Every structure is written in C-alpha cells, then in structure tokens.
Amino acid sequence: MNPDTTDFSQPYFIGILTAVLAVILTEVAIWVRTRIQKRKHRNIRLKLIKTQLENNKNLLTELKTKLGTDQVYTSIDPSPFHNFLSSDVIDLESDENLLRFIYAHLNNISQLEHALHIVELRSAGFTEIHATTKKELEENLKNAIDQFVRDINSCITEINKIT
C-alpha cells in the first residue's frame, strides 16, 4: 500500500466523513428551523398589527359618531405601530408598500390628535379658528376620518397579500 494514496476503506476516513456530514446536516437543520421560526414570528406580528388596524377602524367609527355630542374625544395610540416598525420582522425590500401604509397611518394619527385638540379648544372657546363654527370643524374631521378608514383598509389589504 502506497502511503501517498488515500484508502477509502479505512475506518477513520469513514468516521471523519460521517462527522463532517453530521455537522453539515446539523447546520442546515438549524438554518431551516430558524427560518421557520422567523416566518411564524413574522406572521404573528402581522396578524397583531392587522388586529390593531381593525380596532383603529372601530375607534374611528365610534369617534365619528361621538363628534358633535360634546363628549370627550380620544385619539388612537400609535405605540403598537412604532413597536412593529422597530421589530425584526420587517423586510425593507418586500415590505415597502406595507411600510408606506403604516407610516401614512401614523401620520393620520398625528393629524387626528391635532384636529381633536383644535375641536376641543374651539368648543371650549379658547382659540379663534378661521372656520366659523365647531360644527364645521367636526364635519371636516368626519371627512378626514372617512379617508383614514380608507387608508386603514388599504393597509389591511396589503397585510392580507403578505400573509
């Protein structure tokens, strides 16, 4: 037997080959398991944000019916959306439309808070607004709420495409 040639029949070569294959298979299994867990985590986060959007639609509908009744108006909490945007489930390339819709929704929330503040100040008589009456402000806000609901529906549709 020539010492410079490899004899594939020797037990130590088979042992080394088996060990290398075991390491490779283990790494592949870990990679697959991680991908599956990330996908599950992403789907859960998308379902949660979808539920939050549906709740926001209900809040906006309720707010629209309360306008004009001199009740205390409440806005929408933006923190679930900020948390979603800062999570590791966002894929900047494939989620471009979703991100655009969520940022638009956050902008709508900010506008809603500002509008509610103005309506409340106007109704309390603390500020002069170019609109002549509180009723005009409330009608404008109702129209804006209708647009916000349409924006939410677009965002929900995008989430449905992804999941």
Pairs from 118-125 (Cβ < 8 Å, separation ≥ 24): 119/67, 119/73, 120/73, 123/70
Alpha carbon distance 145, 149 (integer Å): 6
Which 8-state DSSP code applies to residue 94? T
- Which pLDDT score, from 0 to 100, does residue 123 have? 63
Q: Is residue 154 packed enough to be buried (19+ CB in 10 Å), middle (13-18) or exposed (0-12)? A: middle
For residue 20, what are its two tokens? 């290398």
Please say if the pLDDT value at position 5 is more than 80: no
Count of other CB atoms within 10 angstroms of residue 13: 12
Residue 67 confidence class, pLDDT cut points 50, 70, 90: confident
Q: How confident is the model at residue 92 (pLDDT cuts 50, 70, 90)?
A: confident
Alpha helices in 67-133 (DSSP H): 79-85, 96-124
